[in-house]
Chain A
Amino acid sequence: MSDTTTSPRRQALAHFAYVMRDNPVTFLAFAMFAAFVLMALFGPALVPYDPLASDASKALQPPSASHWFGTDNLGRDVFSRVIVATRLDLTISVAAVALSFVFGSILGAVAGYWGGWLDAVLNRVLDTIMAFPLFVLAMGIVAALGNTVENIVYATAIINLPFYARLVRAEVNIRREAGFVQAAKLSGESDISILARQIFPNALPPMMVQISLNLGWAILNAAGLSFIGLGVRPPEAEWGIMVAEGANFIISGEWWLALFPGLWLMMAVFTFNLMGDGLRDLVDPRRRT
């Protein structure tokens, strides 16, 4: 539709701008995502108070001009803690999703390209993982490996792995006999090179959507695990554990302790979900005009 003389990069940018204009919600999602990234990068430097510094004289104060989100039972500033926690929460979920992306891609590509017993074994393993209620499996993995933040990352990565492996396997499988693959074979490219450079890039667009949707789920999962007391240790600021601590005060009416970290968590998940929908609009060829 667009001018054939323009470069693909400019076309992509134009398409991006079109999707943004077409759907303000997507624009909002990308803007919020940028805000979260900034919070994660610069949050600790910008917050007004030390997130770990307690001050018993200011315990359990409701939100005010000096403490926007109030203070908790130890007098720590909730606003600072919520902002600082962004880095930890995003790191856990991004690391987990990155791990499952890399390993899921490798496993899925190998199984989809060569097939045979590798494929059969992988399918059995994935079936077994999916046979567990996933959050419960994550609990079991963390309990078995030990109660640390790294193990939360590994557990979240393992329960996300099947989604990536299956997606890549399907995308690779339908293309392994395609014309361009045959051509690459004839021109003497090795199998691994064909897989990595010719076939795999085709699987990337649906993977991007999956990543975005998964990030939201990974954050929820990690926060859920720390809510029940796994992984992150108490003085540390993390949304799940802050809601858990705040829950003890909700029945006596101190709502700000649990509300703000929960709200931030919710907004992060919401952002990733909306962004996933937006990315789908971006990469779905049927929507391109």
Chain B
Amino acid sequence: MSGRLKSIGLRVLQAVPVVIGVVVVSFVLTRALPGDPAVYFAGAAADEQSIQQIREALGLDKSLLQQFLIYVGDLLHGDFGQSIMTGQPVADDLIRKLPASLELTLLALCMSCGLAVPLGIMAARNPGSLQDHLCRMVVTAGVSLPTFFTGVLLIYVFYYLLGWAPSPLGRLDFIYIEPDTVTGFYLIDSAIIGDWEVFFGALKQLALPAITLALFTMAPIARMTRAAMLSVLSSDFIRTARAAGLTERKVLYGYALRNALLPVVTTLGMVFSFTLGANVLVEKVFAWPGIGSYAVEALVASDYAAVQGFVLSMALLFVALNLIIDISYSLIDPRIGFEAR
């Protein structure tokens, strides 16, 4: 067990240079503003003196290294700068908007894993069958369909034509009252107080954006599950298990799937990267009040601190997710030791 703890510790250490790299890139991006940032932040009516004041206030008159150290110090205090658009600290804005995005992303990922993994298994069991073709179709559509286009199509079919979905504007129709914030997830918050009307209202709003995102993320998961299951099912120990007369169920889920899941878990890292990007587009389509919409609004308003705060926090989130995936990988698969890498 201590060996495993050590390998986990090593993996955590490996994340440190990546985090440093991410912070450096993010610093460069905040300093690469077109023109003089001080002139920009001072506004249109500023004279020479007030620009100089702003420059000093922002620390832009110091050397780059000093600026970098100040930047890192601010980050360590959770200070991502001030948003011009909302007048609030960027970190507060992001934290307030994060639950909406997380609720959407997590639901979408649960949906796509729940559908794509069984689909991949079915496809691998009978290559060339109807399920296999269905799997291939999902994979091809998933990589070719732009998420924002899928979203628009779903709105047209389910809102305009069929009238099943509520209007694609935000997390909750205005006829409902927002549940008290406990987790920030409307589904959980409303379930806690037992307000099922709000629960289903929130679920209805959530359905289309979550399906859009899920369709997009299903493709890599289904493809990876199919490929991994195919290679595992043709291996010797499966033949042995079959020859020993184990039930199909035991062979498939007890032996094959457990081995096939490892590469699937690895792909999840890449899937997260795509999801965090696609999230921005989906939130824009459905006017979802999450951090993606926040970043898009900030982009349009040229609110650079907010945009770079968003980029940095997404990158840190992604690094953390990859870390968790790698650690869980080592827990699932005892053969993996990080020293070997």
Q: Which residues of A contact B (CB under 8 A)?
A: 124-125, 127-129, 131-137, 139-141, 143-147, 216, 220, 223-224, 227-230, 240, 243-244, 246-247, 250-253, 255, 258-259, 262, 265-266, 269-270, 273
Contact = CB atoms under 8 A, between A and B. Distances in A.
B90 to A, nearest CB: 13
Contacts, number: 153
Given A133-B318, A251-B167, A144 B159 contact: no
A140 B308 contact: yes
B102 to A, nearest CB: 14
A266 B149 contact: yes
A250 B156 contact: yes
Interface in B1-56: 17-18, 21-22, 24-26, 28-30, 32-34
19 contacts: A127-B17, A128-B22, A131-B18, A131-B315, A131-B319, A132-B311, A135-B276, A136-B280, A136-B295, A228-B299, A230-B299, A243-B148, A251-B167, A252-B160, A253-B160, A259-B153, A265-B146, A266-B146, A269-B146
The list of the 3 closest CB pairs from A to B, nearest first, reads A135-B277, A128-B21, A140-B311
Contacts of A220: 146
B149 A270 contact: no
A129 B318 CA distance: 12
A230 B296 CA distance: 9
Contacts of A128: 18, 21-22, 24-25
A269 B156 contact: no
Interface of B: 17-18, 21-22, 24-26, 28-30, 32-34, 140, 143-149, 152-153, 155-156, 159-160, 167-168, 272-274, 276-278, 280-281, 284-285, 295-296, 299-300, 304, 307-308, 310-311, 314-315, 318-319, 322
A133 B315 contact: yes
Contacts of B34: 145-146
Contacts of B318: 131-133
Contact of A131 (B22, B280, B299): B22
A288 B25 CA distance: 44
Contacts of A136: 276-277, 280, 295, 310-311, 314-315
B149 A269 contact: no
Contact of B140 (A131, A147, A262, A273): A273
Given A128-B21, A240-B148, 20 more contacts: A132-B314, A133-B273, A134-B273, A136-B280, A139-B310, A140-B310, A143-B311, A144-B28, A224-B148, A228-B280, A228-B281, A250-B155, A251-B160, A252-B160, A255-B156, A255-B160, A262-B153, A269-B143, A273-B143, A273-B144
A230 B28 CA distance: 20
With a 10 A CB-CB cut-off, give which of A127, A147, A247, A270 has the most chain B CB atoms: A247
Given A131-B21, A144-B33, A229-B300, A137 B156 contact: no
A247 B152 contact: yes
Contacts of A244: 148
Nearest to B15: A131
B284 A270 contact: no
A253 B160 CA distance: 6
